[in-house]
Structure 1
Amino acid sequence: MQRKAYVPGAAVLLAALLAGCTGASDEGGSPADSKGGDTGTTTAAAQPGKYRTLPEACGAVDHDTLDALLPGVEQLTDPAQQEKAYQGAAALTYDTDRRDGCTWKVESASATDRLSIDFERVVSYDNAVSDDGKAEELYTTRETAADLPEPVASGTGSPSSTDDSTATPSRAAGKGGDDAGDDGADASDPAPSGSPSPTRTPAAVQPRVLDDLADQAFLDDTLGTGSSAARQRTVTVVFRTSNVIVTIEYAEQPTASGSTPNSEEMQDRARKLAAKLAGRLDG
């Protein structure tokens, strides 16, 4: 009989102990795997860029713009050749939503003109850096590498005007006074006997930052060295809008020996194209 009385008592004691453990948990005890202490400590991912896709590069430039940049297109008499010239040659790419480009090259009676555009959509794989931030970093690297000269003060003959004799050979040629009437030195300032007159670069055509284009932009202008043969001029415009970087290269090689492409005209065409491409991205 004593054995039968002992068993229920042990069961009651076990039940009480279990109830006590449960009560402790109900009174605010936390399970061993609780994540409550981690609330709010996870770093939020940086913002994605505005653009998720890119325009098709070879279709991004209309015929009228190509006619202005590549005069030889309109001189082509074969409709098939002309259409091929308008189409351009697509750059090799494995993901057109990340990078796409196109090149056009046309010969005319007076020169060979070449145009290339490149779209790059930047994606940051660092949660602490946004797509825009990464694109800005890459753009800044490009601008620094261009080694743009110090801005020229406004006003003809300003003391702060750039003296091409101190520039690198390609830039000195690119900013010389042999392609535009206002690029040369002031005739009223005679040079010392036996020394060449200095050439000054007007602010309107020197390589520079462009404050009126997209989020960031710069323009570079280089002219090949040499004087006996025709020299190729290359105008480059690079701009960033949000997480997309666009590069335009516009080059002209004259046919006639000793000819030099006009800097102001080429820069104007390249800048107009850049403005259209920026509008296309935003539109």
Structure 2
Amino acid sequence: MAYVPGTALLAALVVGCSSSTGTGGSAPDSKPGEATAAAAAPGKYRTLPDPCRAVASSTLKEVLPGAAELPEDQQKKVYKGAATVTYDTDRRVGCRWKSEGQDSSHTLFLDFERVVSYDPSVSDDDRAREVYAKKEEAVGLSSSSASPSSTTDTQTQSPSASAPGNDNADGETTTDGSTDGSTEDSTEDSTEDGTDGNAGSSGESLLPRTLDTLGDSAFLDDLLTRAGSTAQNRTVSVVFRTSNVIVTVEYTEQPSVSTVVPDSKELQDRAQALARKLVDRFSE
């Protein structure tokens, strides 16, 4: 056996230990006890409910009165609804119902959008606030300045909220072309409408406005347009945000007679009542 001096053996052991890269050792730049930046909190909702099953049959019978005139098998088909085709059902789902009556047709559309932030420094809720704010701006409202009272004297008809469609790269929405008519037509129709379609009891404002009692933030838009050359239809949209989910309710009525103007108050009341039930459903 070769003889190794004690000093040389000690030096070899020290070098061997200091150069070890075993899995149990700490990384050279690690700093024990140093806090790392925490990622932003995820949103409350990780999944979305089935929108075609989100509305009770009793509510559908109320908002789609023409279906009651149909044979039972056709009624079931109407109340079943048609799911919207989307690319990612974890992020976006929708459903549409339509009924044709003797006096008018009614269409109900629901859109559920779950907003996800891909920036670790921005929470899902904060990103959802940004997406929602753009929807408010699209109809001429803003959370900081608009309120039910402030819109009464300053607005007549606002452009309709962008109809829900497919997500783009930033999580924003694109229109699906569900509403016709230009701003000029809308202004003309609102003038013709006068107080019949826009005035409610007790002087309540029925104009586009923010809503204080739905979810974390909400607004309502009301648009009267012409379908073709004569027929008029009214679409009431209620949009609300709850945490990182944005819900859109669109309710449209088109009378069979061109001279009849859909009642604004009735449509708004029904749309808001449905939105409240959806808020409760998301809170369960």
Q: TM-score, normalised by structure 2?
A: 0.76
* CA deviations over 1:181-200 (Å, ceiling 9, x no partner): 5957xxxxxxxxxxxxxxxx
- Structure 1 stretches (4+) deviating beyond 6 angstroms? 19-25
- Name the structure 2 match of 1:119: 112
Change (3 A) 1:220 1:21: same
* CA deviations over 1:51-73 (Å, ceiling 9, x no partner): 11111111111111111111101
> Residue type of the partner of 2:280?
G
- Name the structure 1 match of 2:86: 93
Change (3 A) 1:249 1:175: same
Query: Where does 1:83-232 land on structure 2 (aligned, <5 Å)?
Result: 83-148=76-141, 151=147, 153=149, 161-162=153-154, 164=156, 168-173=183-188, 175-176=190-191, 178=193, 180-181=195-196, 183=198, 203-225=204-226, 229-232=230-233
Name the SS of the counterpart of 2:36 in structure 1. coil
Deviation of 1:178 after TM superposition, in Å, equals 2.8
Change (3 A) 1:173 1:55: farther
Name the SS of the counterpart of 2:95 in structure 1. strand
Given that 2:251 and 2:267 are in contact with CA atoms closer than 8 Å, whether structure 1 keeps it comes out as yes
* CA deviations over 1:10-53 (Å, ceiling 9, x no partner): 6233135347769999xxxxx89423337535321211111111
Given that 1:228 and 1:257 are in contact with CA atoms closer than 8 Å, whether structure 2 keeps it comes out as no
Distance 1:59 1:203 in 2: 33
> Residue type of the partner of 2:89?
T
Distance 1:88 1:15 in 2: 83
- Name the structure 1 match of 2:63: 69
Structure 2 unmatched ranges of 5 or more: 20-24, 160-182
Name the SS of the counterpart of 2:231 in structure 1. coil
Change (3 A) 1:152 1:13: closer
Distance 1:165 1:64 in 2: 31
Deviation of 1:204 after TM superposition, in Å, equals 2.2
> Residue type of the partner of 2:131?
L
- Name the structure 1 match of 2:174: none
Distance 2:18 2:92 in 1: 61
- Name the structure 2 match of 1:253: 254
Name the SS of the counterpart of 1:37 in structure 2. coil
* CA deviations over 1:122-158 (Å, ceiling 9, x no partner): 111111011111111111111111213955648xxx9
Distance 1:86 1:182 in 2: 28
Name the SS of the counterpart of 1:224 in structure 2. strand
Name the SS of the counterpart of 2:271 in structure 1. helix
Distance 2:93 2:248 in 1: 11
Distance 2:131 2:273 in 1: 24
Deviation of 1:262 after TM superposition, in Å, equals 0.5
Structure 1 unmatched ranges of 5 or more: 1-6, 26-30, 185-201
* CA deviations over 1:154-182 (Å, ceiling 9, x no partner): 8xxx9x72364999535535655736559
* CA deviations over 1:53-104 (Å, ceiling 9, x no partner): 111111111111111111101111x111110011011111243332111001
Moved more, 118-127 or 215-224: 118-127
Change (3 A) 1:73 1:125: same
Distance 1:41 1:252 in 2: 58
The structure with more radius of gyration: 1
Distance 1:62 1:165 in 2: 31
The number of aligned residues is: 250
Given that 1:148 and 1:220 are in contact with CA atoms closer than 8 Å, whether structure 2 keeps it comes out as no
Distance 1:15 1:128 in 2: 52
- Name the structure 2 match of 1:281: 282
- Name the structure 1 match of 2:238: 237
Moved more, 144-153 or 264-273: 144-153
Distance 2:155 2:217 in 1: 27
Deviation of 1:274 after TM superposition, in Å, equals 0.4
